[in-house]
Chains A and B, each alone.
Chain A
Amino acid sequence: KAGVTQTPRYLIKTRGQQVTLSCSPISGHRSVSWYQQTPGQGLQFLFEYFSETQRNKGNFPGRFSGRQFSNSRSEMNVSTLELGDSALYLCASSIGQGRSYEQYFGPGTRLTVT
């Protein structure tokens, strides 16, 4: 079974631009969660989608948004990029929603904002 895939793997953007990251979950998984990983803040939860609905959201500004499609693929969008948005963005999928379900992580998208 293929793992979680994220595209692109690397991205360089300029301040003020917007960016869209994509995540394809493991086949059969209906929940997708997004995390931001930085050296200073560590791993922080962004949001979780299940059955095309955002179920939970972390403490991030409205510039961070996402969506999930009917095939469970998910996209994350960051508008008006800031230097502090430079990070590794990780996507994780699980069969169901909630803390009891095991999450499988993708390799991440490395975003650099200049």
Chain B
Amino acid sequence: AQSVTQPDIHITVSEGASLELRCNYSYGATPYLFWYVQSPGQGLQLLLKYFSGDTLVQGIKGFEAEFKRSQSSFNLRKPSVHWSDAAEYFCAVGGDNDMRFGAGTRLTVKP
């Protein structure tokens, strides 16, 4: 069965600084990978997804992620963080029968 690990429970960055959120997955076949963002009291919004092809994926709100098969990773990046990016971020892998989510990384943005 597939699984997802997000090693960082909580990250704090200054506004304007760069951001990288880590995600490692385990899945036997070609993974379908996703990053979602959840603001307090809200549902999840899809930031980007990887199915195949170019390993660098562009998403909404200036986010991008890079798929590295050799490292089983799909890290999320943003060159310059805005205060409105403060939220919880979830990495997910689509398996045979369901979607598995990581535990999430809470992002705090300092002014």
A contacts, CB < 8 Å to B: 4, 33, 35, 42-45, 48, 56, 58, 90, 92, 98-100, 102-108
Contact = CB atoms under 8 A, between A and B. Distances in A.
Contacts of A92: 43-44
B42 interface: yes
A43 B46 contact: no
**Most chain B CB inside 10 Å of its own CB: which residue of A44, A90, A103, A108:** A103
B33 to A, nearest CB: 10
Contacts of B45: 105
B63 interface: no
Contact count band on B: 20 to 34
Contact of A99 (B32, B41, B90): B32
Interface of B: 32, 36, 41-46, 49, 51, 90, 94-104
Nearest to B95: A99
A36 to B, nearest CB: 11
Given A102-B49, A105-B44, A105-B45, A42 B99 contact: no
Contacts of B32: 99-100
A106 B43 contact: yes
Nearest to B98: A45
A56 B97 contact: yes
A58 B42 contact: no
Contacts of A108: 42-43
